[in-house]
Structure 1
Amino acid sequence: MMKEEQWAPVVVMLISSVAMGSVNALAKKALDVGVNHMIFGAYRMLISALILVPFSYIWERKTRPRLTLMLLCEHFISGLLGASLMQFFFLLGLSYTSATVSMALVSMLSAITFTLALILRIENTQNLKSKAGVLKLLGTLICIIGAMFLTFYKGPQISNPHSHPEALHNNNNYTLHKNGHDQSNKWLLGCLYLIIGTVLLSLWMLFQGKLTVKYPCNKYSSTCLMSVFAAFQCAILSLYKSREVEAWIIEDKFVIFVILYAGIVGQAMSTVVTSWSIKMTGAVFVSTFTPISLISATLFDFLILHSPLYLGSILGSVVTITGLYVFLWGKKSEIDQSVLKTLTPSKFCQNVENEDHMTINVNNTKLPI
């Protein structure tokens, strides 16, 4: 029984990570069709809210605290940081780059969150002098180098160009040069948008940490509220690109399938599964599965959707994953040190109590006459 309990979070997170990689790859393909990325986001958040309503009502109606104006405002901010604005930049960046690059930059989430925690004084700067602090700082720097690779070095295409018709261009030299220049600009801009989206997601995680204290044990209700606010926010943000009602009418069956899949699997289920896994095993354990999403997105993008694969994406992904695990190594060392500090005083107190007990027993012992 214990073995099943230990393996359950591992299996669940593996399935969730593979699913998230496929969601990004499919979303990239849907955006290439030409759908407004914020209309895509609005539908995704709306589906997530509809899926979570019955769960939050049935399982959390008795434990849910009374909603105040302040709590509603905080969930509005949560939706803005973790869903609408994040999706605005992330999906826009995804449309200019690839699923592989998007997941590689998301792999920097732990390092970016750590950096922001230092800037906002949430993380103690004195901890940087310890072994754990040095490893976390080193991991963050390696992640940044990996992001630089992904952003500024696209590199040659290492997959077979003939298997990717969309990668082929006109034979005219001027057209090739012009298209290549435009593609490079879009790639840089896309990476910048993805980094902004990841920073917003990091800010959401820091904000959510405080919100869960005020709204505990209500992951379904909280995610549902966030999704409702985010759906309206995405709808408003979609106006920057198109104000026509026809843009909301989606007839492409593939795009409809991707929106449903992204809303159910990529938003509702993944949020709930991640929350459950964090509760069971901790955030450090859950964050180690980020590279699985990256590998899943790369394989799904390349093998199923036949998108071109570039050397810069592979090198940048490897460097980013290396930085992530160095950072997690430091995080594990930090947790081990905290546990050791917690246990040491307890053992000392226990020893003192035992010594006192022995002294009393010695004093109360009567010598035989």
Structure 2
Amino acid sequence: MEQKKSYLAIILIQSIYTGMFLLSKAAFNHGMNNFIFVFYRQAVATIFLIPFALFFEWKKAPRLSLVTFCKIFLLSLCGVTLSLDVYGAGLIYTSATLAAATTNCLPVITFFLAVLFRMEMLRLKTIPGIAKFVGILICFGGALTLAFFKGPHFKIPCFHHLFGLHQAHQTQGQVSSGMSWIKGCFFLLMSNTCWGMWLVLQGRVMKGYPSKLLFTTLSCFLSSVQSFVIAIALERNTNEWRLGWDLRLLAVAYCGTVVTGVAFNLQAWVIEKKGPVFLSMSTPLNLIFTMLCSVFLLCEVISLGSIMGGLLLVGGLYSVLWGKAREQKMEEGLCLPAADVEKAGSEMKAVTTH
């Protein structure tokens, strides 16, 4: 029964992220400004998290020093605000399927950054080390394939567009532009790089402020302030800031509450029960769910390049994860201290999609 709960949890997590990609893309197709969207999303997430943070961790929270606050501010700026703003720009130029495909890069990018910061070792003289290096190269090849190769397009008959037919035609026109597609791929990869940087560096910051829920709430609050400054500087039209009972409000509420409140907690539960590798290996499910829903609900056209690039990203992800799992088994077999084993797997512990 415990095994079934874990599998149901990862299916639910990836389904939630599929809904995030689809609703975000649909909201942008309806003309919502992506910078305003990020502000509202983070503001809703902050309002949602504050009661839980105050109830569960306020009394036992450590003192927040000025240095730690500045570190959290910079982490929020890089890993949350800029990551989400750049992600929204990339999603506008590409498709929900491509956004889901690039999330498979996140564990690999996180590992690569951990190597650069000397928080992780890449032993090229061992088979696991070679597997991780080859996985990085395969992911890089997948990213290039997504950006520069399209090939034939596959159009599956779609008789009903979930959010309006005219938006679907606009999306297809955008995707057909080569430079827009390349620009969108660059933005999505840049977004995942910023998020990976946040994952790598937050461990050091949380050593000085270990209250996870308060840390997340403070990050959301600071991100909402930062994203408001960016949005108000780039968009002064008050009509763009209005939310009605429409798709825009649904997308903001969904991303602010369901993604932040439900998916993040489910991820923490899965990592605790089954480990970070188990969660990372479920990431390709998000690509499959999003591709199917994009084709049948948003009437998106899928290209051969998107399929090939997505497969390469998944292959690179599994190569890195296989090498990581083998190294952990070797270290456990050599009876290394538990602290060293935990440190070796630290970069995979917080794998998430925004």
Give TM-score scaled by structure 2 length. 0.87
Q: Which amino acid is the alignment partner of residue 206 of structure 1? A: V
Superposition RMSD in Å: 2.4
User: How far has the Cα of 1:279 moved from its partner?
Assistant: 3.2
Give yes or no for the alignment of 1:300 onto 2:293: yes
2:190 aligns to what?
196
Q: Which runs of 5+ in 2 are unaligned?
A: 338-354
Is the 2:93–2:174 Cα contact (8 Å) retained in structure 1?
no
Question: Matches of residues 307-318 of structure 1 in structure 2 within 5 Å?
Answer: 307-318=300-311
1:129 aligns to what?
125
Q: For the residues of structure 2 that align with 1:110 and 1:117, how far apart are their CA atoms?
A: 10
**Match for residue 48 of structure 1 among 40, 45, 50:** 45
Give yes or no for the alignment of 1:340 onto 2:333: yes
1:83 aligns to what?
80
Q: For the residues of structure 1 that align with 2:129 and 2:70, how far apart are their CA atoms?
A: 35
Q: For the residues of structure 1 that align with 2:272 and 2:127, how far apart are their CA atoms?
A: 27
Question: Matches of residues 12-161 of structure 1 in structure 2 within 5 Å?
Answer: 12-125=9-122, 127-160=123-156
**Match for residue 183 of structure 1 among 177, 181, 190:** 177
Is the 1:78–1:208 Cα contact (8 Å) retained in structure 2?
yes
1:351 aligns to what?
none
Q: For the residues of structure 1 that align with 2:272 and 2:207, how far apart are their CA atoms?
A: 14
Q: For the residues of structure 2 that align with 1:312 and 1:335, how far apart are their CA atoms?
A: 35
Residue aligned with 1:342, SS = coil
Is the 1:22–1:300 Cα contact (8 Å) retained in structure 2?
no
Residue aligned with 2:335, SS = helix
Change in Cα spacing, 1:338 to 1:189, as seen in structure 2 (3 Å) is same
Q: For the residues of structure 2 that align with 1:40 and 1:66, how far apart are their CA atoms?
A: 33
Is the 1:220–1:272 Cα contact (8 Å) retained in structure 2?
no
**Match for residue 236 of structure 1 among 229, 248, 258:** 229
Is the 1:44–1:267 Cα contact (8 Å) retained in structure 2?
no
Is the 2:174–2:180 Cα contact (8 Å) retained in structure 1?
no
Q: Which amino acid is the alignment partner of residue 149 of structure 1? A: T
Is the 1:139–1:327 Cα contact (8 Å) retained in structure 2?
yes
Give yes or no for the alignment of 1:214 onto 2:208: yes
Change in Cα spacing, 1:274 to 1:162, as seen in structure 2 (3 Å) is closer
Give yes or no for the alignment of 1:259 onto 2:255: no
Q: Which runs of 5+ in 1 are unaligned?
A: 170-175, 345-369
Is the 1:49–1:268 Cα contact (8 Å) retained in structure 2?
no
Is the 1:45–1:267 Cα contact (8 Å) retained in structure 2?
no
Q: For the residues of structure 2 that align with 1:132 and 1:283, how far apart are their CA atoms?
A: 18
Structure 1 or 2: more helix by fraction: 1
Q: For the residues of structure 1 that align with 2:272 and 2:175, how far apart are their CA atoms?
A: 47
Residue aligned with 1:92, SS = helix
User: How far has the Cα of 1:83 moved from its partner?
Assistant: 1.3
Q: Which range moves more in the overlay, 60-69 or 309-318?
A: 60-69
Q: For the residues of structure 2 that align with 1:70 and 1:279, how far apart are their CA atoms?
A: 30
1:9 aligns to what?
6
1:5-27 superposed Cα distances (whole Å, 9 cap, x missing partner): x4433322220111101211110
Is the 2:64–2:209 Cα contact (8 Å) retained in structure 1?
no
1:325 aligns to what?
318
Change in Cα spacing, 1:109 to 1:239, as seen in structure 2 (3 Å) is same
User: How far has the Cα of 1:255 moved from its partner?
Assistant: 1.1
Change in Cα spacing, 1:154 to 1:266, as seen in structure 2 (3 Å) is farther
Residue aligned with 1:129, SS = coil
User: How far has the Cα of 1:343 moved from its partner?
Assistant: 6.2
Give TM-score scaled by structure 1 length. 0.83
Change in Cα spacing, 1:181 to 1:103, as seen in structure 2 (3 Å) is closer
Change in Cα spacing, 1:78 to 1:10, as seen in structure 2 (3 Å) is farther
Residue aligned with 2:124, SS = helix
1:172 aligns to what?
none
Aligned residue-pair number: 332
1:309-339 superposed Cα distances (whole Å, 9 cap, x missing partner): 2221111111111111111100100110111
User: How far has the Cα of 1:214 moved from its partner?
Assistant: 2.3
